[in-house]
Structure 1
Amino acid sequence: MADVPVPPSSLRTEGILLREIHVNLLECKVCFEKYNPRQKERRPQNLSCGHVLCLECVRALSHPVLEKLECPFCRQLCDVDSTSHCQALTDLQDLLLSRSPRSPVPHRVRGGSGWVGGLGSGALRLRSAFGGWGSLINPTGVAVFGSTGTLVVVHDGERRVVVFGPQGRRLHGFGRRGRGHGEVCHPVDVAVTPSGYVVVTDAGDGAVKVFTSRGSYVLAVWDSFQMPWGVDVDSCGHILVTDIQAGTLSQVVVDFARGVTLMNRAVITDLQRPKAVACCRVTGNIALVETLGLTTTQPPNGPRPTRLTIFNKDFNVLSQIDSFTLSLGASVWPCMSAVAFDRDGDVIVIDSQRGLIWSLGKLQNGPVLTPLVSGDLVRPVGLVATAQNTLIVLDSGDHAVKMYSVHSDAILVQK
């Protein structure tokens, strides 16, 4: 299929603005349903604190006797009787519908060898979402238990690690807030070993902590870590950890049955604020994202440049690319903050600044910058690409987990 040309910058800017309006203004931030003034339960309601919820969520959150509710965003106590219909949002919704705005079609920015069978084969469509404020609080990392579809998320709740079923039902939580035995202070990322152990990076405690799938404490690794950040596990069960402060990527080998650390060594040093790390289950390659310092040509309040490096399983560099190089052919500045591999070994990255998910293809063949998700996201922070061709995105802005898959005719459908 021939490449589709990049849309003009004005259309791109308009599309980003419309996406922000739809995601941040025209849907309830508790149930994630679109406001609908023609459906009573979905009408936007003003609270006395100024925040807006749909009528159904106002009723669900209110005390049945006191007829008061605590705003889920600012915690102010509001009278249910004082809520009113938010006419401004209704008018905005009607205006956008009457305009029928155009949105950019999914496109490839650079040449490649055509669409592939992984997630890069077309635009992705939102299939389901779960979580929301209260169920998840400022989540930062997500992982999947093998082929079962069970998810584990780390967040800022009282129990720092939460396990969800494939359909989003909360199963259990563990890792109470704290620095004691089996507790988690400030979790950043999470991974699951092939044998089902849960590995959490605790930046607040400067440790990597391991639990069973049911939440039983196994061990903690403190040696050499200053501020552990990203984590993933290779097919052998070896743990890879980035240290944002020490500037290292470490490999940790654990005897999980005995709860003993067999090896902990820095395999790559002199990195610049390394954050995300991901292992490819197909090739064994490792992807690493660094946050670079600002250059003299960049505004101090602009997005920081990032660099993505692909290593082989022996930690030799295979390819490398940074934000500036990607921007030359795309007229955008991708701010890479998280990374994953799909089932075909293609690299997928999060652009948290714009709320976008990009496929880069196989970097060894030259990057092919393809937008996969260009809507529905507020501040994506973590992602997992499953063997079933589902992309699981952790959206910290919505405190939610969102699942995407390839739409059969997504190439022809505008987002």
Structure 2
Amino acid sequence: MASSQWYPPSPSSASSDSMDDVLRCAVCLENYSDPRVLSCLHSFCFTCLESMTKLGPSRRHISCPICKKVTLVPSPGVSSLPNDFKLEQFREVLMRQSTNSDLSEKNCDYCMARSNNTTAEFHCVHCALYLCTECHERHSSNTQLASHQVVSLKSSSELSDLCCRHKLYPIRYVCQPCSAALCTVCVLEHDSRHSLIEIDRSMVEGRRKELKEISKVLNMRLNEIINREKLLTTIRQQQQSNLNSVQSAIREKCSSIISMVRETENKLLSEAAKKMELHVHQDGELHVERVRIEALQSEIRQVLSAPSYSTVLSHGDLLQKAKTVTEHTLPGPVRTPPMISLRFEPTSDEMNIGCLSEIRGDGDIEMSEPSTKRVSSILSALSPSKTKHKRLKGHHELTFPNTPVATSTSGATVSSPSKTSSTTPSPPSSPTRPTSSEEVKPESTERATVLLTIREQGGWPGRISQPCAAIFLPSRELVVAEQNRLQVFDATTKQSKRILAWGKIQPAGLALSSIDHNLVITCKKDLCVKVMAPSSGDILSIWGSFAGPAGIAVTSCGHAIITDTERRCVTVHALSDGTILRHFSCCQLSFPYSVAVYSDLIIVSDSSDDHVKIIDSENGTVRSSFNFTGGPYGHLRRPHGICSTTDGNILVADRDNHRVAMFSTDGKFIKNVLTRHDGIKYPSHLNLQTDSDRLVLVESNSAGLGQNGHFCVKIFHVPGMCSASTSSQQTNNN
């Protein structure tokens, strides 16, 4: 059925009532909806005709409701009847004329009644009359008409938005819940529970201003995205060019090696064939002698098989030939010729084709405001004339150590080299060391092994949530400091045994007191130090007031050493009540992250300065500072966790080099304890067990990543570390 469309009464629309009758269906008495023409030329709605076919005696015949003439419906149904396009066009023309007449200049209805044509400036919605200024004043002063809603035609024309449903009425309100624009008539049909706001010029201008501002922001964001896409395109092109050159170098090197191998193959095959020719001559002499004897044997058998004596006596020469052969000396005894074997020299049994090494730049390229200037500077830095000196992160180069290609020697009765052979040459020297930390293997002769790994993230027991530190307890348990709690694990089975102070702390550093074996925690949330019982989780004491507490270490005499990253200082406190014993505010500290102690030395990792600094615990002076490790790694890169060993060495978690390195107290590099080849990544905290070779390592890369960062806790068995284990009183933070 056609949907009802109500037009409010007004003097201007009163003359169109007869026209509306023409546009109404005689069945549903509503405006036509998809009108179809019968054979009698009367038109009806499509839905009305469908209903008539269903209710009638026959679905193939329709009786016209007006003239009663029967129309035969084609087999497809009512949809095959022709459309009344003229009626649709007539309705659209009438609607446009009505709208144009409404928008044209109006005369005051009161003045027209007095035969006076005055331009109307107002419209009374209740009276449906147009009013001039004078009549509007009289209309408003009348007590019975004062409550009527009067609309200014000038303001309506300024807004110039007409209702899409009620064509003659301007939009005056906005429904907040529906975000719909309504006219006065729409308000009567709308949900009365919804709140409406009357539209005025200030509201429209304010919304336009907001849209303009957000459009500017979107344009800036769009320009930044375009600039980044251009930058990525340039980088991608350089990477592709770099890849093509590397692949070409690989193919060229491998082709040369393959060519040399083929030459060696042909040479060895030819040499082996020559050695075989030395034994062919003896074999040929024996073959000739064998053929002659077999021929004589055949003749003798023929003579012996003859029945007459004359035949036997007539072959005297045959006997002479046989005697001659028997008297002939054979070429000599058969000697076993030497076997030919292939032997590779131990110094050249491997072909070193080369290795890929990564040359790091200054880090990731960040876009900053103004983005256009930043992008232009980056693009200029990426120009071909400057890439010779500026290498971006991810740029690779191919190195080919000058190792000789494998050659082989042959000789008599040569066997493969054995372990017991005293003449076995020394093994080949190692190739040139790569420049990337990802390619450097541990220098220790014995490899570390992973005993336990905790990497499942989450808040449930047994899972970790952004760990920052971990230490061993004397009870062979492992305490992991997480985002807002401490969790105790079995250090052997990885089973979660208990959770301490859930939601009550936000740890930054973790240490263990050697006096009473209580946990000492620096808290980022409360900016203090809390002492906790590891068995129950009870808070035993709270002391201190810090700006950015981070690292903590506890000495055997009951002193707590704490680093403050905000105040850039190191303080020594009494563990019992937090009394400040010493305060070292050194201008050489930029971001003191972690701390450890050995004898009278305080060891601090300065992550911002990429240094490890040794401070005198008596006067606070910096005795030494180091960051150069030598070898392929070069400098320290964001050193985080540190701890000291009983023999005075320092273990440093070199975070961005993905390794744990050992140094002496004078800054001399000793060795790499763990590297990326041992499966570590972003080490941020470490702790050694006192009486074993076990090292616990916390891996964390949470900068800007939140829960999606890299978090992991691992326990390693590092051979030979028992003698260099950290005392429990020297346990440190992350």
TM-score w.r.t. length of structure 1: 0.58
| C-alpha spacing 1:105/1:373, structure 2 compared with 1 (3 Å) | closer
Query: Alignment partner of 2:604: what SS?
Result: strand
Shift of 1:339: 0.8
Q: Secondary structure at the match of 1:353?
A: helix
Give the one of 373, 393, 406 matched to 2:718.
406
Distance, in Å, in 2 between the alignment partners of 1:346 and 1:151 is: 24
- Give per-residue Cα distances to partners, 1:9-47, cap 9 Å, x unaligned: x8583699xxxxxxxxxxxxxxxxxxxxxxxxxxxxxxx
Relative to structure 1, the CA distance from residue 400 to residue 190 in structure 2 (aligned partners, 3 Å threshold; closer, same or farther) is same
Q: Aligned-pair distance for 1:187?
A: 1.6
Distance 2:632 2:439 in 1: 17
CA distance in 1, matches of 2:356, 2:440: 7
How much has 1:314 moved relative to structure 2?
Answer: 3.3
Secondary structure of 1:13's match?
A: strand
CA contact (8 A) 1:307 1:322 kept: yes
How far off its partner does 1:156 sit? 1.6
* Contact 1:125 1:373 (8 Å CA) reproduced: no
Supply the distance in 1 between the matched residues of 2:597 and 2:619 (Cα, whole angstroms). 11
d(CA) in 2 for partners of 1:365, 1:290: 14
Q: Give the alignment of 1:369-388 within 5 angstroms.
A: 369-375=671-677, 376-387=679-690, 388=692
Q: Show CA shifts across 1:143-176 (max 9, x none).
A: 222x43322221125xx11122222322211223
- Aligned 8 A contact 2:441 2:675 in 1: no
* Greater RCO structure (CA 8 Å; 6+ sep): 1
Cα distance change of structure 1 residues 316 and 252 upon mapping to structure 2, 3 Å threshold: closer
Determine the C-alpha separation between the residues in 2 that align with 1:285 and 1:240.
Answer: 11
Show CA shifts across 1:207-264 (max 9, x none).
11111112101222233x1110111111122111100000111111132xxxx33445
1:249 maps to 2:570: yes
Structure 1 residues 81-137: Cα deviation after superposition (integer angstroms, max 9, x where no partner): xxxxxxxxxxxxxxxxxxxxx964423xxxxxxxxxxxx775422222235212111
AA at the equivalent of 2:442: P
Pair 1:331–1:196, CA change in 2 (3 A): closer
Match of 1:222 in 2: 544
Hey, what's the Cα distance between the residues in 1 that align with 2:590 and 2:622? 18
Q: Verify the 8 A CA contact 2:520 2:529 in the aligned structure 1.
A: yes
Flag the 1:246–1:171 CA change in 2: closer, same or farther, 3 A: same
Q: CA deviation at 1:365?
A: 7.0
Whether the 8 Å contact between 2:603 and 2:615 is mirrored in structure 1 is yes
Q: CA contact under 8 A between 2:451 and 2:716: conserved in structure 1? A: yes
Find the counterpart in structure 1 of residue 483 from structure 2: 156
Identify the match of residue 269 of structure 1 among 586, 589, 595.
586
* Greater helix proportion: 2
Match of 2:404 in 1: none
Q: CA deviation at 1:316?
A: 5.6
Paired residue total:
272
CA contact (8 A) 1:310 1:320 kept: yes
| 1: CA distance, partners of 2:635 / 2:601 | 25
Alignment of 1:62-211 (within 5 A): 104-107=440-443, 122-134=446-458, 135-145=463-473, 147-157=474-484, 160-167=485-492, 168-177=494-503, 183-184=504-505, 186-194=506-514, 195-211=516-532
State the alpha-carbon separation in 2 of the partners of residues 262 and 331 from structure 1.
42
Shift of 1:277: 0.4
Structure 2 equivalent of residue 355 of structure 1: 658
* 1:272/1:290 contact within 8 Å kept: yes
| Compared CA separation, residues 339 and 315, structure 1 to 2 (3 A) | farther
Structure 1 residue matching 2:567: 3-state secondary structure: coil
- Please report how far the alpha carbon of residue 407 of structure 1 lies from its aligned counterpart in structure 2 after TM superposition: 4.7
Query: Which letter maps to 1:149?
Result: R
Determine the C-alpha separation between the residues in 1 that align with 2:661 and 2:668. Answer: 15
User: Against the structure 1 CA distance between its residues 103 and 352, is the aligned structure 2 distance closer, same or farther, given a 3 Å change threshold?
Assistant: closer
1:390 match? 694
Cα drift, residue 392 of structure 1: 0.9
Q: How does 1:232-381 map to 2 (within 5 A)?
A: 232-255=553-576, 260-263=577-580, 265-270=582-587, 271-280=589-598, 283=599, 285-292=601-608, 305-314=609-618, 319-323=623-627, 325-326=628-629, 329-335=631-637, 336-360=639-663, 362-364=664-666, 366-375=668-677, 376-381=679-684
- CA distance in structure 2 between the partners assigned to 1:204 and 1:121 by the alignment: 44
For the structure 1 residues 396 and 366, does the alpha-carbon distance in structure 2 shift closer, same or farther, using more than 3 Å as the test?
closer
2:666 aligns to what SS in structure 1? helix
Question: What is the distance in 2 between the residues matched to 1:212 and 1:288?
Answer: 27
1:140, 1:392 → 2: CA distance? 12
The question of whether the paired residues in 2 share the 8 Å contact of 1:343 and 1:386 is answered with no
The one-letter code matched in structure 1 to 2:479 is V
Q: Is the contact made by 2:685 and 2:697 (CA closer than 8 Å) also made in structure 1?
A: yes
| 1:287 positional shift | 1.3
Please tell me the residue identity of whatever aligns with 1:386: Q
Aligned-partner Cα distance in 1 for 2:622–2:590:
18
What residue identity is the alignment partner of 1:229? Answer: A
**TM-score, structure 2 as length reference:** 0.34
Stretches of structure 2 that go unaligned for 5 or more consecutive residues are 1-351, 361-437, 702-709, 721-734
Shift of 1:382: 0.7
Alpha-carbon distance between aligned partners in 2 of 1:272 and 1:15, rounded to the nearest angstrom? 27
User: Shift in Å at residue 317 of structure 1?
Assistant: 5.4
Residue 272 of structure 1: how far off its partner (Å):
1.4
Partner amino acid, structure 2, of 1:162: Q
Give the distance between the partners of 1:253 and 1:11, measured in 2 at CA.
54
Letter in 2 for 1:385: L
Say whether the 8 Å CA contact 2:624–2:667 is kept in structure 1. no
* 1:370 positional shift: 2.6
**Cα gap change, 1:319 to 1:385, in 2 (>3 Å):** farther
Residues of 2 paired with 1:364 and 1:312: CA distance? 13
Offset of residue 286 of structure 1: 2.5
